Amino acid sequence: MSLLELIARADERGLAASGVACLDRCLPPSEDGSDPEPLRPLWAGCESGAEWAARLDAVHAALEGAAARDATADRVRTLLAAAPEDFAAGPLRAWADACSLLALDIHRESDFPADDGTRTSEDFRAGRATGGGPLVMGELRRQAEILESLTGTSGTSGTSGTESGPTGLRRALDMSTEGRRVLRAVRSRRARGRTRPGDVSLK
């Protein structure tokens, strides 16, 4: 099952967690080192939608004053500001889809070897393209595993069954945290001009 099919079948809980996870992985660290996980308050609201709108407003306000100011951070802020306050499948699906696409685009921009531009992020998400770089393929797998574990669909990553309550969200958070570590490590090494294949595990 392609990533687009998984998004189409997900419920409110899976969509909210997937969108938050995508933005959480891609947000650069704050310039002053404060609050390494500024989106954490949103995770608690993904289970039932409790205080979802209030949590969105609080996190967005916090990011305006604390997170890094660069192009990637601004793209994450823009999508966070576009998050629906209504915790319902329709608006959350459109938002989660946009978050998924942004996360894959950001991973493609940081991948090695560099993307040759012959395939689009939509090609990868629709299952029409394979053989991308390690960051891209790892991100595709991570997004699928998060959706599968939370919605009970079975795709190509080998997971199946719905994990309810805090257990499912904890697993999604753990997978996203590891993905954030990988992306930040690669981006940091690229910025220093020392990134080489094999420098960091991308699984």
203 residues of the chain, pLDDT tens digit each: 899 999 999 999 999 999 999 999 999 887 666 666 788 889 989 988 989 999 999 998 888 766 556 888 899 999 999 999 999 999 999 999 999 999 999 999 988 776 666 788 888 899 887 778 899 999 999 999 999 988 754 343 444 344 555 678 899 999 999 999 999 999 888 777 754 544 444 54
| Residue 46 pLDDT | 92
| Residue 68 pLDDT | 59
| Residue 197 pLDDT | 46
User: CA–CA separation, 11 vs 16, rounded Å?
Assistant: 9
Q: Does residue 107 lie within any of the structural domains?
A: yes
> What is the rounded end-to-end Cα distance, in angstroms, of the chain?
20
DSSP state at residue 28 = P
Nearest to 115 by CA among 99, 129, 102: 129
Q: Does residue 201 lie within any of the structural domains?
A: no
Please count the structural domains in the chain. 1
Q: Does residue 82 lie within any of the structural domains?
A: yes
The answer to whether the CB of 18 falls within 8 A of the CB of 100 is yes
What is the amino acid identity at position 58?
A: A
Q: Does residue 198 lie within any of the structural domains?
A: no
| Residue 90 pLDDT | 96
Q: Does residue 23 lie within any of the structural domains?
A: yes
Nearest to 150 by CA among 142, 108, 138: 142
Nearest to 179 by CA among 127, 104, 74: 104
Q: Does residue 196 lie within any of the structural domains?
A: no
Q: Does residue 40 lie within any of the structural domains?
A: yes
Q: Does residue 197 lie within any of the structural domains?
A: no
User: CA–CA separation, 71 vs 167, rounded Å?
Assistant: 34
- Its domain, for residue 154, covers 3-191
User: CA–CA separation, 152 vs 148, rounded Å?
Assistant: 5
